[in-house]
């Protein structure tokens, strides 16, 4: 008999990976709700900048939320469905209510962006 699996650690990724052919992907509306939870959690978190660099900045006062317009501009440039949203929360709420498979690409790109911030924030 093998040992039981280790317990899940706090902050573990809750979204399934969507890269690769065997990746199981939730419905777009479910993914939108998951991403909304991630965004709400991350939006007030700080972005670690200059860790170990020699620029002299001791710590960062930038929040993930400060990058919201940059993230939206990226999404708008790639996905017409994102053009109507003025905030990430608005985009995700709308997609959670009315998403179909056309929403999946914008959700995948946003998931990657949020995962990147989450990795930066958690030190992964």
Of 47, 33, 109, nearest to 14 by C-alpha is: 33
Q: Where are the domains of the chain?
A: 28-122
**How would residue 8 be classed by pLDDT, with cut points 50, 70 and 90?**
very low
pLDDT of 21 > 50? The answer is no
Of the candidate ranges 18-22, 38-42, 44-48, 78-82, the one whose mean pLDDT is the lowest: 18-22
pLDDT of residue 90: 96
Of 108, 83, 87, nearest to 32 by C-alpha is: 108
Instruction: Report the C-alpha gap between 87 and 5 in whole angstroms.
Output: 40
Instruction: Report the C-alpha gap between 4 and 25 in whole angstroms.
Output: 26
């Amino acid at each position: 008999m093998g040992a039981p699996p280790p317990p899940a650690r706090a902050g573990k990724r809750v979204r399934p990976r969507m890269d690769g052919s065997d990746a199981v992907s939730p419905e777009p509306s479910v993914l939108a709700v998951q991403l909304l939870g991630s965004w709400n959690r991350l939006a007030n978190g700080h972005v670690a900048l200059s860790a170990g660099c020699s620029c002299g900045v001791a710590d960062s006062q930038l929040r993930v939320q400060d990058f919201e317009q940059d993230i939206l501009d990226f999404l708008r440039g790639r996905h017409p469905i994102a053009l109507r949203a003025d905030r990430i929360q608005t985009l995700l709420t709308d997609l959670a209510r009315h998403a179909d498979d056309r929403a999946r690409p914008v959700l995948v790109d946003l998931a990657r962006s949020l995962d990147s911030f989450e990795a930066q924030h958690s030190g992964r």
